[in-house]
Chain A
């Protein structure tokens, strides 16, 4: 049989996503945040269903209820950990060392393994609730060993002033990929970290210039001027590294022996989506705030002229016009929450959606006919969902 290549279609559009995101985030504010678990669920359903490898959409099957329950469990565990742990640290730090620097440091360091643990668990939950062609994805339970590894690799990255980063990216990705399943077939990350080096050269140039500027700054203040050049270089080099790393590592992934992948996202396009996206987000925010201020001015003028049934403008601030005063509070609250709602919604529409489109449309699956041999895997109950990530507020963007 010849090699069958599956292209990926993308069906997401701005309009429906905008209304879905606006509706769900408004509900989230109105329910004091409780609806956010359903909001996340519904937005994921939309994004997943927009990605159609070989013409069949991905499906997200998570629920809001299980997310809320997972969150509650995580809050109790973390409340115990943070409450008691902080207290003991504070006591020991003051009793033995007569200061609290160690306590602050330790309570921060103590959260780092939990952060990586939560990240891995959230990824496992999302995979367990993702289906394609009716077959579930899955990940093995390895959150603590992931946390341990991630901490060591990050430590190496920091101690090496960032030089170790490509190797860290590869090793963590390999750890995750080698524990990922589609049905009863396992993924495998082939290749090695050296294949990321070609895409890392701009990152290294930026890094080198930044370190030079930093060290030179001790000797001669004017060396710090180099940062103007080196920091943007470093930032763009970093994005380029991430994009090419994604490309190379996806190309080197295997599902079973016979199914491969081919990804070709482009750095220029990714940067363009970021820049244009955030420009549009900013533009829309400014325009809607201007509109709100205009409305407020009109309301004020109408109040002053008595058109709304209030005696005078002065009553608004004299304390006599109680209901007018509430009107002002409601207005302020509307602007405040409206701003954050709109920011989140616009970001989904102008940044996340086009970014997913780019990554989806440039993804191919090679050897698609071998998929027919892949069987279903049992459901991973995973009752805690992504509660820890939610409680620590490190949930993914979507």
Chain B
């Protein structure tokens, strides 16, 4: 039975068989057969092409309302372009799956597996491969190279922390303060067995923090000096940072971030404002060493203090006070990022071998000069 359009009112359409680049003018007829409804495409010669209505699909997101392009389910490239509105309406009525386009169910499963594999691989690269490689290289790097790396990193940090982008953060170098600082370092490191020249800097910033950079740079912020109540506390913190330098932790970290920052840029890069995210992420990564590395640096500091005849319990005092304070501005602080402050304080107290009548590292005047090094 003919459902639509008989020979007296022929409707034509453009047909391409997907085999040759020829446009066939075909007469379209819709018929009911034993195997269901079928679209007949009558070519000028030869057998008509038969499309089961169940297989007919309509292309999506097409421009122009004057023509509708049809194809078959799956990858078959044959196409039918119909410009007759009533035939398009009829096809819309008769073809049940016109807009069913889930012809890639096998791909969806592969997609899930691939996504998991991709995330795992990137994680492996960022968290295992790059750090492992960085650790190897940190040991192999000559001291001169480490110093250059430290110089470059120090410059970057000063630029990043400055208020406007064209300057660097101010270095504090009041002469009396510097003299006090040198005295302090001389007390801690009397010998010459340290692998680097220690280069100690105070930066004019309110953050309560100190950190070490590759090649012997140790940086303190003004905020740390304001927060400390005695020179012995500062000595403890310097000892801790010297531990990091001795163990080459900053070199490892700088190399690691050189690798992972590139990867993060690749992953986050094309979101607007990616640079900010990148910067923050990098800083957050930088603020943390492993628990083992922190404990080792603390032990190193305890030993240095004991050798210098200074009590390591002052270090504990400092962390006790810091812990009581609000953690608001400790987000970026390397000192406050220690995993277990209670154990850390206990360790500092337990390691103390010096009685209370020790010889003070700085007298009151020198201590005040140090605190005022930024003025």
Contacts and interface: CB of A to CB of B under 8 A. Distances in A.
A58 to B, nearest CB: 10
B82 to A, nearest CB: 12
A308 B330 CA distance: 38
21 contacts: A11-B67, A12-B63, A12-B64, A17-B63, A20-B61, A45-B59, A49-B64, A54-B23, A59-B59, A76-B121, A83-B262, A86-B258, A91-B140, A95-B140, A98-B144, A98-B147, A99-B152, A133-B21, A134-B79, A371-B22, A372-B22
Interface in B37-63: 59-63
Interface string A354-395: 000000000000000001111110010000000000010100
Given A16-B63, A45-B59, A100-B152, A56 B23 contact: yes
Nearest to A94: B145
Contact of B118 (A72, A131, A374): A72
B81 A83 contact: no
B259 A84 contact: yes
Interface residues of B, number: 65
Nearest to B119: A72
B62 A376 contact: no
B129 A83 contact: yes
Contact of A376 (B20, B23, B104, B258): B20
Contacts of A379: 75
B237 to A, nearest CB: 27
Nearest to A78: B266
Contact of A87 (B110, B130, B267, B271): B130
Interface of A: 11-13, 16-17, 20, 33, 42-43, 45-47, 49-50, 54-57, 59, 63, 65-66, 68-69, 72-73, 75-76, 78-80, 82-84, 86-88, 90-91, 94-96, 98-100, 103, 107, 131-136, 182-183, 336, 340, 371-376, 379, 391, 393
B61 A133 contact: no
Contacts, number: 189
A134 B69 CA distance: 11
B343 interface: no
Contact of A45 (B61, B75, B147): B61
B258 A90 contact: yes
B258 A11 contact: no
A304 to B, nearest CB: 30
Contacts of A33: 270-271
A49 B258 CA distance: 46
B3 interface: no
B272 interface: yes
A94 B148 contact: yes
Contacts of A132: 21
Interface in B80-137: 81, 104, 107-108, 110-111, 114-115, 117-118, 121-122, 125-126, 129-130, 133-134, 137
Contact of B20 (A47, A72, A100, A372): A372
Contacts of B141: 91, 94-95
B16 interface: yes
Nearest to A182: B21
B292 interface: no
B350 interface: no
A47 B63 CA distance: 7
Contacts of B77: 131, 134-136, 376
Contact of A73 (B21, B114, B263): B114
Contact of B16 (A45, A87, A91, A134): A134
Among A94, A107, A372: residue with most chain B CB under 10 A: A94
Interface in B328-343: none
B142 interface: yes
Contacts of B118: 72-73, 75-76
Nearest to B64: A11
Given A134-B21, A375-B20, A393-B270, 20 more contacts: A45-B62, A49-B62, A57-B69, A59-B59, A59-B69, A65-B107, A65-B111, A66-B107, A69-B114, A72-B117, A73-B118, A82-B266, A87-B133, A90-B259, A95-B140, A132-B21, A133-B21, A133-B22, A134-B17, A391-B266
Contact of A94 (B18, B63, B146, B263): B146
